[in-house]
Amino acid sequence: MLEGKLHETETVGEINLGIYEIPLESIVGTLTEARSTAFAGNFMPLLAEGSEFASKWQSLYSHHIRDGISDPIKVYEYLNRFYVVEGNKRVSVLTHVGAYSIRAEVIRILPKRDTKNRDISIYYEIVDYNPHILAFVGMWFGRRGSFTKLMENAKKFSETVPELKGKQPHVWLSKVFRDFSRQYRAAGFGDINLHLGDAFIEYVRIYGFPYDEPYEILGHKVRNCEGQFKLVAKRSSQKVIDSGDVQRTGGLRLRSIISPRKARAVFVYRTPYELSPRTRAHEYGRLQAEKMFGDRLITEAVYGVSEDDAHRRLVEIAKTKPDIIFTVNSRFGRASLQTSLELSDVLVFNCNHTQPGKRLNTYYCKLYELTFMLGILAGSYTSTNTVGFITQPKSLVNSTYGINSFALGARLVNHNIRVKTASMINEYSSEEDRALRKELASKGVDVVFSQYPNEDPAWYNKFNNLYGMLSAINPNGCVTDYLATSAWNWDVVYKKLFEDYLEGNFDFLRKTPESTLNFWLGLSAGATDVYMSDIVLGPHTARLGKVFKELLTKSQIHPFIGPIKDNSGVVRIGKGDVPTLMDIQRMRWLSDIVSED
């Protein structure tokens, strides 16, 4: 009943929107209590068969069967839901026969704006798009900002489709969303505790906007997303496994293997073997794992798969019936998610950070431990108390945990330290790295972390498992000494993953399609390491580095223990607090000693 709701909320006016076709499922009640004794909550009649009401209802039903109901009902729209003013029996009859929609004269009731009220805030995002049209019926969200972001993405999409250029989203998106909603309901997902708008956003994240998508194909894709919808609805099925779950004292210790299970795995790479040290590092890990497990493990590699073609290639590979597919590049994330949802009989693991809210298995290394260690060495070695950190292109690196852990390590041993940062524009560019080192040197930096600290463009190709290096530089930015290097050991990671699979630890992923696994392995598992140049660093700094490395390996110290402030003075991590792995990954702020100028 709408009147009861309006007594509790201040309104600011009405807008007559005109005649629209509205879904019957979006009609949730009546204006007053007057009809509450005649109809159930789903508009099915309650009064006895011999009553006058029953006779009128049966007469209307017969009329509809013979001629159809065409006269529009009258409804109020409030918070994107509809309440009947006139036409309850018409709604009842059409609901009874399984109709999808009904014509209605719609009057919008506007509540007073209230930023503290989540529902009203979400509603006004929709209303502010255009208060005089009814374009997004049934579209609702669980959080603020979702509709606004969806419209931004829809406008960007419009510019990629010739016939949609210059058109506002409501012109085409209303039908697209309506078709999605019908397929979502037809798939039986109505009982999933997820708002339709949120479900639509998840679909778009996976497959893009289904504009001009054949209705049957849309339905097939919607059904593929069941595990993703359930994951988002539950918000609790993502299991993050870190190094401590492997072995606190370091290294990988193989458990006794009882199961006779065998496995076949395919590794999919974006870059060719001969052109990429990263590919070669993963290939070494693959071959070492195959060697360890002998005839219980068969693996193969596929090179040179483009991001645009990844989904098609993964589907082709899946048809060969591997047990696991490893997609060894974060750019394969979307294609990996699509494949994982569509083909539940093969496990897909993407080499990537954990993807919150996505039904995607991932694995990665705890790189913040490495940069923390290198920060400690930099803070101890510097003469100018100013050190530098060169980040990868922002299009590839979303989190700031690398630079923050480096800065916190440096401050741990040098209270006067300042950290200058510079960001690369292009991936894998030693020339750009050299230019940024020169820029940092002009600001007083004498020690810098970077991934390509050499003037020789071919230098990087000589090291397969290198993550990055700490270098001393002169006032021109040229490297004078290599102080330490960091590495990731993918053989340890793959041995752990295959061990768990052969032991049956991944079986639940097939039994519960909304579940995911996310591995974060670091120093304590032996998946990463730091190698120091003791002679260049000197005995005292080298000894200091070894002490902290042991503490990290034994999980006796954490890079991000609070209190930690950002460079605006806001406390981001409270005193004594330690962020979770997901909190670390979500960092988008910079520590108070980091400067980007």
Q: DSSP labels for 207-226?
A: H---TT--HHHHHHHHHHTH
For residue 303, CA distances in Å to 145, 270, 397 come to 40, 6, 23
Claim to verify: residue 391 and residue 479 sit in the same structural domain = yes
**What's the chain's length in residues?**
597
Claim to verify: residue 419 and residue 537 sit in the same structural domain = yes
Q: Determine what percent of the chain is predicted with pLDDT higher than 70.
A: 89
Residue 259's pLDDT band (boundaries 50, 70, 90)? low
Claim to verify: residue 553 and residue 414 sit in the same structural domain = yes
What's the pLDDT at 491?
A: 94
Q: Residue 281: which H helix or E strand, with range?
A: helix 277-293
- Cα(549)–Cα(554) distance, integer angstroms: 9
Claim to verify: residue 382 and residue 447 sit in the same structural domain = yes
User: Is the pLDDT reported for residue 251 higher than 50?
Assistant: no
Answer with the one of 112, 143, 166 that is the final residue of a domain. 112
Tens digit of each residue's pLDDT (9 = 90 or more) over 329-340:
999 999 999 999
Let me know if residue 328 belongs to a domain. Answer: yes
What's the pLDDT at 1?
A: 66
Q: Dihedrals φ, ψ of 81, to 5°?
A: -130, 160
What's the pLDDT at 459?
A: 54
Mean pLDDT, residues 110-127 taken together: 93
Claim to verify: residue 293 and residue 326 sit in the same structural domain = yes
| Residue from 201, 269, 285 nearest 464 by CA | 285
For residue 110, CA distances in Å to 14, 81, 128, 132 come to 6, 12, 11, 11
Claim to verify: residue 506 and residue 586 sit in the same structural domain = no
Residue 477's pLDDT band (boundaries 50, 70, 90)? very high
Claim to verify: residue 454 and residue 509 sit in the same structural domain = no
User: Residue 563, preceding bond cis, omega within 30 degrees?
Assistant: yes
What's the pLDDT at 211?
A: 93
User: Is the pLDDT reported for residue 315 higher than 50?
Assistant: yes
- Cα(182)–Cα(23) distance, integer angstroms: 10
For residue 291, CA distances in Å to 45, 256, 269, 298, 322 come to 71, 17, 20, 10, 18
Mean pLDDT, residues 264-274 taken together: 94
CATH of the domain at 474: 3.40.50.2300
Mean pLDDT, residues 451-473 taken together: 72
Let me know if residue 143 belongs to a domain. Answer: no
CATH of the domain at 51: 3.90.1530.10
User: Is the pLDDT reported for residue 548 higher than 90?
Assistant: yes
Rg (CA), the chain: 30
Claim to verify: residue 415 and residue 550 sit in the same structural domain = yes
Claim to verify: residue 555 and residue 510 sit in the same structural domain = no
Q: According to DSSP H, which parts of 488-553 are helical?
A: 490-502, 508-511, 534-537, 539-553
Between the ranges 212-221, 313-322, 344-353, where is the mean pLDDT highest? 313-322
Q: Dihedrals φ, ψ of 451, to 5°?
A: -100, -10
- Cα(545)–Cα(377) distance, integer angstroms: 6
| Residue from 553, 591, 565 nearest 405 by CA | 591
Residue 345's pLDDT band (boundaries 50, 70, 90)? confident
User: Is the pLDDT reported for residue 460 higher than 80?
Assistant: no
What's the pLDDT at 382?
A: 96
User: What residues contact residue 32 under an 8 Å CB cut-off, 6+ apart?
Assistant: 1, 2, 3
What's the pLDDT at 254?
A: 42
Tens digit of each residue's pLDDT (9 = 90 or more) over 487-540:
999 999 999 999 989 988 888 887 776 778 888 899 988 999 999 999 999 999
Claim to verify: residue 267 and residue 409 sit in the same structural domain = no
Which tokens go with 537? 């660093």
What's the pLDDT at 466?
A: 83
Mean pLDDT, residues 219-223 taken together: 91
| Residue from 360, 363, 319, 361 nearest 343 by CA | 319
Let me know if residue 231 belongs to a domain. Answer: no
Binning the chain into helix, strand and coil, the percentages to the nearest 5 are: 45, 20, 35
**Selected residue with higher pLDDT from 48 and 5:** 5
Claim to verify: residue 313 and residue 327 sit in the same structural domain = yes
Let me know if residue 171 belongs to a domain. Answer: no
Let me know if residue 339 belongs to a domain. Answer: yes
- Cα(463)–Cα(486) distance, integer angstroms: 11
**Selected residue with higher pLDDT from 60 and 461:** 60
Q: Which of 307-316, 412-421, 444-453 has the lowest mean pLDDT?
A: 444-453
User: Is the pLDDT reported for residue 302 higher than 90?
Assistant: yes
Exposure string (b/e) for 332-342, b if CB count within 10 Å is 16 or more? bbbbbbbbbbb
Spatial contact of 373 and 545, defined as CB atoms under 8 Å apart: yes
User: Is the pLDDT reported for residue 119 higher than 70?
Assistant: yes
User: Is the pLDDT reported for residue 51 higher than 80?
Assistant: no
Claim to verify: residue 324 and residue 399 sit in the same structural domain = no
Whole-structure pTM value: 0.76
Residue 284's pLDDT band (boundaries 50, 70, 90)? very high
How many domains would you assign to the chain?
3
What's the pLDDT at 244?
A: 47
Let me know if residue 483 belongs to a domain. Answer: yes
Q: Determine what percent of the chain is predicted with pLDDT higher than 90.
A: 57
Residue 257's pLDDT band (boundaries 50, 70, 90)? very low
Answer with the one of 52, 85, 112 that is the final residue of a domain. 112
Question: Helix (H, G, I), strand (E, B), or coil: what is residue 518?
Answer: strand
Domain span at residue 280?
254-360+491-523
How many CB atoms are located within 10 Å of the residue 557 CB? 15
- Cα(341)–Cα(290) distance, integer angstroms: 27
Exposure string (b/e) for 472-508, b if CB count within 10 Å is 16 or more? bbeeebebeeebbbbbbbbbbbbbbbbbbbbbeebee
Between the ranges 54-68, 97-111, 231-245, where is the mean pLDDT highest? 97-111
Let me know if residue 174 belongs to a domain. Answer: no
Spatial contact of 200 and 218, defined as CB atoms under 8 Å apart: no
Spatial contact of 440 and 448, defined as CB atoms under 8 Å apart: yes
User: Is the pLDDT reported for residue 356 higher than 90?
Assistant: no
Residue 42's pLDDT band (boundaries 50, 70, 90)? low
Let me know if residue 478 belongs to a domain. Answer: yes
User: What residues contact residue 149 under an 8 Å CB cut-off, 6+ apart?
Assistant: none
- Cα(254)–Cα(532) distance, integer angstroms: 29
User: Is the pLDDT reported for residue 236 higher than 50?
Assistant: no
Which tokens go with 473? 């530089």
User: Is the pLDDT reported for residue 463 higher than 70?
Assistant: no
Between the ranges 47-61, 418-432, 536-550, where is the mean pLDDT highest? 536-550
Average pLDDT value for the chain: 86
What's the pLDDT at 358?
A: 83
Spatial contact of 139 and 80, defined as CB atoms under 8 Å apart: yes
User: Is the pLDDT reported for residue 235 higher than 60?
Assistant: no
